[in-house]
């Protein structure tokens, strides 16, 4: 069985090359992050912590899937050196100093989930302080989160290199997520509209595709400048389509880079 660390003292016993932060319920997407981490160092720690600060409701927090035994096995099989499984008290000692996610943190996912990105940045900063990794790996599926973490690292001059990893998809091209376990086979068929919309590579065509699937409840769909999160225009070099919506009671997000120069 893989080594399980539970405290800052446990972490301090060695230096860590790479951190892969997760909330558990590991799947093939997380596995790809751990495998990518092996390109950046030999000592790889995977953190598993369901962060209460980034949930809007206690119901959503309490129903988040917890699969610790299979998580430990998957982390080991993928090549992790250890898994950090801290308690809430270990992460949040005393008064919590929340990190402001700024203007971009209030857009899109931030508009739909009040305080979400502040919670994400707060826990990621705490993990960086505890682990002190040279590198940290994050997936592009959560592109707005990735953007904000990079901005935080620059602003606070945190000595860690952020590595972005491509989105991993299932056989239906649905971006892998821990929440996908709550989707039925019919839900997954409905969710195909997400990738079909992104694959048009055009905002108006993407909207038309979504309109043809009434069982997908769209939250937002937009074409942005991926370097600023401003609306893209004809002069934008690096564009990205971003989308979010609901299938049944499950919220799904995705994105795709469009062109670039």
Structure tokens given for 261: 């120069």
> In angstroms, what CA-CA distances link 242 with 122, 147, 204, 223, 226?
24, 13, 13, 6, 10
- What does the H/E/C string look like for 10-72? HHCCCCCCEEEEECCCCCHHHHHHHHHHCCCCCCEEEEECCCHHHCCCHHHHHHCCCCHHHHH
Which of 27, 30, 239, 256 is the catalytic position? 30
Query: Helix, strand, or coil here: 112?
Result: helix
For residue 39, how many other CB atoms are within 10 A of its CB? 10
30 is catalytic: yes
State the DSSP string of 163-192: EEEPPPB-TT-PBP-GGGGG--HHHHHHHH
Q: Report, as residue numbers or ranges, the catalytic residues.
A: 30
């Amino acid at each position: 069985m893989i080594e399980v660390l539970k405290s800052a003292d446990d972490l301090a016993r060695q230096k860590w090359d790479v951190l892969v932060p997760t909330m558990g319920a590991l799947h093939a997407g997380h596995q790809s992050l751990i495998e990518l981490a092996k390109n950046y160092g030999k000592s790889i720690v995977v953190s598993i912590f369901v962060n209460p600060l980034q949930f809007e409701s206690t119901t959503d927090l309490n129903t988040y899937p917890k699969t610790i035994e299979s998580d430990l096995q998957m982390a080991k099989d993928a090549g992790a050196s250890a898994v950090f499984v801290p308690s809430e008290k270990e992460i949040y000692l005393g008064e919590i100093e929340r990190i402001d996610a700024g203007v971009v943190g209030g857009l899109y996912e931030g508009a739909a989930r009040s305080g979400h990105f502040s919670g994400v940045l707060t826990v990621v900063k705490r993990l960086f302080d505890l682990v002190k990794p040279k590198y940290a790996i994050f997936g592009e599926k959560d592109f707005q989160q990735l953007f904000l973490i990079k901005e935080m690292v620059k602003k606070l001059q945190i000595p860690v290199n952020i590595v972005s990893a491509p989105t991993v998809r299932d056989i239906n091209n649905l971006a892998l997520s821990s929440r996908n376990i709550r989707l039925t086979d019919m839900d997954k068929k409905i969710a195909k509209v997400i990738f079909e919309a992104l694959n048009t590579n055009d905002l108006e065509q993407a909207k038309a595709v979504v309109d043809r699937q009434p069982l997908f409840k769209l939250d937002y769909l937009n074409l942005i400048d991926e370097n600023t999160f401003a609306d893209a225009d004809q002069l934008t070099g690096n564009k990205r389509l971003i989308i979010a919506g609901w299938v049944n009671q499950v919220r799904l997000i995705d994105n795709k880079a469009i062109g670039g120069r």
